Chains A and B, each alone.
Chain A
Amino acid sequence: MGVSIRGGTPLRDEEFRAVIKEIDSPRARYSMAAGIAYSRFLEGLKRGEILGTYCPSCRLVHIPPKIYCPYCFKHLTRWVRASDEGRVVTAVVSYLSATLETLEKPEIIGIIRLDVPGHRFSSYRFPGILHRICGASEDDVKTQRIFDARVKARWLPEDKRTGSINDIECFEVIWG
Chain B
Amino acid sequence: MKMNVYVKKRVAVVGAGLTLFRRRMLETPQELAWIAAKRALDQAGLELKDIDCVVSGSAPDAFDGVHLKGEYYSEGAGAIGKPHLRVYVGGGTGVFVPIAAWWHVASGLCRRVLVVAEEKMSSAADPHPQAVFRHIWDPITEKPLNPNLIWIFALEMHRYMHKCRVSKEDIALVSVKNKRNALDNPYAQAGANITVEDVLKSELLVYPVNRLDISPVSDGAAALVMVSEEWARRLTDTPIWVEGIGYTLDTSYWTNRELSFPVYLKNAAEMAYKMAGIERPMKEIDVAEPYDPFDYKELHHLEGLGLAPRCGAAEMTREGVTQRDGDLPVCPSGGLLGVGNPIAAAGLMKVAEIFWQLRGEAGKRQVKKDAVTGLAQAWGDLMQVGTVVIMRR
**Beta-carbon contacts under 8 Å, A83-128 to B:** 89-100, 109-111, 123-128
Task: For the complex formed, measure the closest distance between the CB of B377 and the CB atoms of chain A, giving whole angstroms.
Answer: 22
The residue from B35, B158, B161, B207 contacting A8, defined by CB atoms under 8 A apart: B35
Q: How large is the interface on A (under 10, 10 to 19, 20 to 34, 35 or more residues)?
A: 35 or more
In Å, the complex CA distance between A109 and B150 comes to 11
CB of A1 closer than 8 Å to a CB of B:
no
A70 to B251 alpha-carbon distance, docked (Å): 7
- Asked whether, in the complex, the Cβ of A9 is within 8 Å of the Cβ of B27, the reply is yes
Min CB–CB distance B189 → chain A (angstroms) = 9
Contacts of B205 in A (CB 8 A): 94-96
Residues of chain B within 8 A (CB-CB) of A130 are 141-142, 145, 147, 151, 155, 255
B230 adjacent to chain A (CB < 8 Å): no
- Kindly state whether residue B39 has any CB partner on chain A within 8 Å: yes
Give the contact stretch, choosing among B78-86, B239-247, B256-264, B277-285.
Answer: B256-264
- B155 neighbours in A (Cβ, 8 Å): 90-92, 109-111, 130
Residues of A within 8 A of B186 (CB): 7
- A71–B23 alpha-carbon span in the complex (Å): 40
Interface pair A32/B140, CB less than 8 Å apart: yes
Q: Knowing A11-B24, A92-B155, A111-B155 are in contact, say whether A165-B204 is a contact too (CB < 8 A).
A: no
Q: How far is the CA of A91 from the CA of B256 in the complex (A)?
A: 14
Verify if B206 is at the interface (C-beta below 8 Å from A): yes
Query: Using Cβ atoms and an 8 Å threshold, which residues of chain B touch A79?
Result: none
User: Chain B residues with Cβ under 8 A from A38's Cβ?
Assistant: 140-141
Expressed in whole angstroms, the minimum distance between the Cβ of B106 and any Cβ of chain A is: 29
**A131→B155 CA distance, assembly (Å):** 11
Are A10 and B24 closer than 8 Å at their CB atoms?
A: yes
Residues of B at the A interface (CB closer than 8 Å) are 18-20, 22-27, 31-32, 34-35, 38-39, 65, 122, 125-128, 130-131, 134, 138-142, 144-148, 150-151, 154-156, 158-159, 161-162, 186-187, 204-209, 219-220, 251, 253, 255-259, 263
